[in-house]
Structure 1
Amino acid sequence: MLMKKILFSILISSFLLQTNAQELKTKLNWFNLDFEKDGVRGMSVERAYNELLKDKKSKPVVVAIIDGGTDVNHEDLKDKLWVNTKEIAGNGKDDDKNGFVDDINGWDFLGGKDGTDVHHEQLEMTRILKQLKDKFGDKPSKKLIRKNKADYELLQTLQKEYDEKKAENEQYAPFYKQLYTNYVESEKILKDYLKVDNLTQAAIKGIDESQADRKVRAAKKTLEKFIELGATGADIKEAAEHFESELKYNYNLDFDARKVVGDNPKKLEYGEYGNNEVTGPDAMHGSHVAGIVGANRNNNLGIMGVCNDVQLMVVRTVPDGDERDKDVANAIRYAADNGAEIINMSFGKKYSPEKKWVDDAVKYAQSKGVLMIAAAGNDNTDMDADPQFPNDTYENGSVAENWISVGALSWKPDVDAVATFSNYGKKNVDVFAPGVDIYSTVPGSKYEEKSGTSMASPATAGVAALLKSYFPNLTAAQIKKIILESSVKVPDLRVKKPGGDEIVKFEDLSATGGIVNAYNAVKMAMEMK
């Protein structure tokens, strides 16, 4: 759900007008560029390749993309997919005896045995609230309340939060629906007037209002306002669909998406549910994430991912709604069991009723030498005070050693260097990486700019994979240490605290106070014995 949360601020987000082709706001590939050479706070990936890795050999690294699904036929991803060579495709058998039938490119923990997939889901808050309402009923006895005081207090808290959020969505849904209608109508009027299939800002600006009728003048003003506010038709449509979906599914107490899967949500059932259809009904988010990590750098198409020698394992776990702890735990285990050395997790939620399952899976991954990279979240909140799940802190208070939490950096200079939406935390966010206006792969062999800590996490995962690829003997702990210690420190940088205008020290927003940098990381790895 991380990407979706940015939609609340869509009218002040950093996108340009787009129709069929997107006009980029900043430099293409900026997340891989170098601050000194290119003027943007990228991760110096190109510099690392050009100056440090030019004549060095690499080995393939498996990176698991635990997400909402990935377009396995994308022109820039299809040659970079993990392929389970021990499995015979399409024979309906578990040839490698790993518990998963025909898992050629990964596994879908949201799939049914008949090949269908979960698309929409409730929020975790909604699921817990439903269980508690069923437990207490409309008129709970004093005895029942007294025996279950903690649960009853949680019920009150969740009911209040649920009512507020649902009311907010009931307000936003018609607003964005009308906003999108206005956009589409204005766009059609101007396309007809200019006799073009695609609109550009220059074309809109160039319309001579003295020669145009009232409808054209009004349409021009409407689209110019959208341009001024930084809103696009695609994002307004996405927002309208998002709020409608939230009301219909996320906040619907009676919606049961799990019928599609046919499992028992109260049991882990590793290897006993799901299917091998890893693209899913909406692979937008997962495809974008996968491209950042490892889109083909050598095919002269689209974009260049961070790591040039990568195998992307697709583990579909995140629906349009909140992921289940059961699926997250099993996804981590699947990735660790099948050779993933890096796991990217661009998702998160506020509640985790089965946190122990996830904690055990993280410990299992650590025992297998797997490094986990996680998005910090997009609520512009202090993670030290208001954590999201999953995270690196176990229920007993100890901390996972194989975990990096990443906040989002903008390409903008000075006070606007940090993404307005990014979570932060001197203790619980480790480092920042590029996460605003990142141009990457989307379904249908297309490319779009997206923003979120969902983008900053795979940028960091790409650097981790790069290190593992060229320095295969590095352990997960060593790679984490290198990434954090080699991050660029900017002690003089003052930025707006995410979510407001308060000016703070950038170094106070994360544990390292640093920005992920591939050049520095590779250099440090080369100097290690």
Structure 2
Amino acid sequence: MKKILFAVFLFPFFLQTNAQDLKTKPNWQNLDFEKDGIRGMSVERAYQELLKGRTSKPVVVAVIDGGTDTNHEDLKDKIWVNAKEIAGNGKDDDKNGFIDDINGWDFLGGKDGQDVNHEQVEITRMLKQLKDKFGDKPSKKLIRKNQAEYELYGKLQKEYEEKRSESEQYAPFYAQLYKNYLESEAVLKNYLKVETLTKENITGIDENNADRTVRAAKRTLEKFIELGASGNDIKEAVEHYEGQLKYNYNLDYNPRTVVGDKPDKLQYGEYGNNEVLGPDGMHGTHVAGIIGANRNNNIGIMGVCDNVQLMVVRTVPDGDERDKDVANAIRYAADNGAQIINMSFGKPYSPEKKWVDDAVKYAQSKGVLLVAAAGNDNLDIDVDVHYPTANYENGQKAENWITVGALSWKSEPNSVAEFSNYGKKNVDVFAPGVDIYSTVPGSKYEEKSGTSMAAPATTGVAALLKSYFPELTAAQIKKIILDSSVKLPELRVNKPGSKEIVKFEDLSLTGGMVNAYNAVKMALEMSK
């Protein structure tokens, strides 16, 4: 599931804001601690001091996500174009199995042009299958014959009921909150005779000259301002919980008829369409901008890599991605020239993990590097597995894989994002992932937070290395990123999800923060 953290799902931690009210320095993820006083990845310093005057080659990066706005003003010149395909002729010109795949492919689309937007989460899908198998009163013989599955059935039923109960509680809460916001907004707009409210004209209202209704409305909106919450934030929270009830945790919901495939078969090249934005390309567009938004057009933002081609592979709905789609997306990217793949999604169960493992091995055979988000549940993923994972079912581990946790721009002990997953074995490194300002559909820009933002920051550094040092292999790029990460053995931080103080170095394999300057310096030394 792609998670945009509008609130880390609960009040008071709103993590989005309006473009005019940025919480920190713009482009902070690319800044340098020594020069700018903020622990970014030193990308600008690398360009200015180490890469100036050097030539680069274009790098194809696949963004496996929920869709990307290929017409965004800051992305349109950086989108991958399949030169072997003739647009709109309805033929598979390059014989790769995908018709008119000009900018990538949509594994959530139907042949008639429709797209899946909402989906069940994996818990719901698995529970539905087991419920159909066991029923409400399974026989002792059936249970005895399928003991492991029956135990899983009970576990899933409990988790499902807890999640659905949470949504039933918060959906009306946020709905009422949004109603209060809109009513207060309307009162103050009428009082001030303005069409748009600003922080200044709200706080500037003299309560001594206002009636009780205006005073109450002012205090309501001031509370939202204090929490950094906009009306859009609250609206997204309402949609999130209502969507969970209607789609994610609805046992009877089945959107896959839109695609028209057979969910229990891989069917590579037999389903999907070429419409890569999808119904909601917010998440994927934001991720794409972090990697490679145009650095030279004097508008918007600056991505990490200045010579990138972004291949869009739509795979992730509002709900949990299916293993077959993830496997096919990885294979598609590898088959069509992607050198690096970004995967900013995840879930707690993976019933067809073998399909994904096989695709990862295939990508490795093609020399492709995969970068994955660690997840946003403040869990130790050495204990609670977050899928997809570099660990194969046979106990071996993918060599072409980097898992990334999220850093905040704040000073210690808040340097690590409170939502980030961690793990001394299964998280490789940390990168900026809080209040990252990047592209969103419609040629707009917003701040968003998540390990979904930390992964593309790292992907951008990997692409930068491949671009300026094309002879580097996936294994070498991974080694450089991990070995060159900034180690801070004295840094003490809050363990994600708590106030327990721990060593930062104990939260990941390297104990380090991704640093482009150090990585480029190491690549230069290696190239000599």
Displacement after TM superposition at 1:14 (Å): 5.1
Which residue is 1:11 aligned to?
11
Assess if the C-alpha contact under 8 Å between 1:71 and 1:283 holds in 2.
yes
Assess if the C-alpha contact under 8 Å between 2:371 and 2:404 holds in 1.
yes
Find the partner of 1:121 among 115, 119, 122. Answer: 119
Assess if the C-alpha contact under 8 Å between 2:6 and 2:237 holds in 1.
no
| Number of residue pairs the alignment of both structures matches | 527
Which residue is 1:458 aligned to?
456
Q: Distance in 2 between matches of 1:78 and 1:215?
A: 48
Which residue is 1:27 aligned to?
25
Does 1:153 find its partner at 2:138?
no
Q: Distance in 1 between matches of 2:128 and 2:249?
A: 10
Q: Distance in 2 between matches of 1:262 and 1:510?
A: 41
Which residue is 1:302 aligned to?
300
**Partner secondary structure for residue 11 of structure 1:** coil
Alignment-mate amino acid for residue 28 of structure 1: P
Does 1:516 find its partner at 2:484?
no
TM-score, scaled to structure 2: 0.98
Correspondences of 1:302-341 after superposition (within 5 Å): 302-341=300-339
Task: Pick which of 478-487 and 206-215 moved more.
Answer: 206-215
Which residue is 1:50 aligned to?
48
**Partner secondary structure for residue 272 of structure 1:** coil
Alignment-mate amino acid for residue 427 of structure 1: K
Indicate how the Cα distance of structure 1 residues 17 and 346 shifts in structure 2: closer, same or farther if over 3 A, else same: closer
Displacement after TM superposition at 1:320 (Å): 0.3
Assess if the C-alpha contact under 8 Å between 1:6 and 1:452 holds in 2.
no
Assess if the C-alpha contact under 8 Å between 1:17 and 1:227 holds in 2.
no
Assess if the C-alpha contact under 8 Å between 1:17 and 1:201 holds in 2.
no
Displacement after TM superposition at 1:184 (Å): 1.7
Indicate how the Cα distance of structure 1 residues 371 and 159 shifts in structure 2: closer, same or farther if over 3 A, else same: same
Task: Pick which of 199-208 and 217-226 moved more.
Answer: 199-208
Which residue is 1:93 aligned to?
91
Assess if the C-alpha contact under 8 Å between 1:130 and 1:253 holds in 2.
yes
Find the partner of 1:171 among 163, 169, 172. Answer: 169
Any gaps of 5 or more consecutive residues in structure 1?
none
Determine what percentage of the aligned residue pairs are the same residue.
78
**Partner secondary structure for residue 413 of structure 2:** helix
Correspondences of 1:362-373 after superposition (within 5 Å): 362-373=360-371
Assess if the C-alpha contact under 8 Å between 2:412 and 2:492 holds in 1.
yes
Alignment-mate amino acid for residue 313 of structure 2: V
Which residue is 1:507 aligned to?
505
Task: Pick which of 5-14 and 448-457 moved more.
Answer: 5-14
Q: Distance in 1 between matches of 2:114 and 2:462?
A: 34
Measured on the aligned residues, the alpha-carbon RMSD in Å equals: 1.1
Q: Distance in 2 between matches of 1:288 and 1:16?
A: 13
Which residue is 2:421 aligned to?
423
Does 1:495 find its partner at 2:496?
no
**Partner secondary structure for residue 142 of structure 2:** helix
**Partner secondary structure for residue 408 of structure 1:** strand
Task: Pick which of 393-402 and 200-209 moved more.
Answer: 200-209
Displacement after TM superposition at 1:219 (Å): 1.0
Displacement after TM superposition at 1:12 (Å): 2.9
Assess if the C-alpha contact under 8 Å between 1:4 and 1:242 holds in 2.
no
Which residue is 1:132 aligned to?
130
Assess if the C-alpha contact under 8 Å between 1:297 and 1:305 holds in 2.
yes
Q: Distance in 1 between matches of 2:219 and 2:69?
A: 38
Assess if the C-alpha contact under 8 Å between 1:14 and 1:437 holds in 2.
no
**Cα offsets for 1:175-234 (capped at 9, x unmatched):** 011111111221222223223333332222211111122121111100111122232221
**Partner secondary structure for residue 51 of structure 2:** coil
**Cα offsets for 1:212-259 (capped at 9, x unmatched):** 221211111001111222322211111110000000000010111100
Find the partner of 1:344 among 342, 357, 360. Answer: 342
Q: Distance in 2 between matches of 1:58 and 1:194?
A: 55
Displacement after TM superposition at 1:267 (Å): 0.5
Correspondences of 1:70-469 after superposition (within 5 Å): 70-469=68-467
**Cα offsets for 1:329-385 (capped at 9, x unmatched):** 000000000000000000000100000000000000000000000000000010101
Any gaps of 5 or more consecutive residues in structure 2?
none
Q: Distance in 2 between matches of 1:429 and 1:137?
A: 39
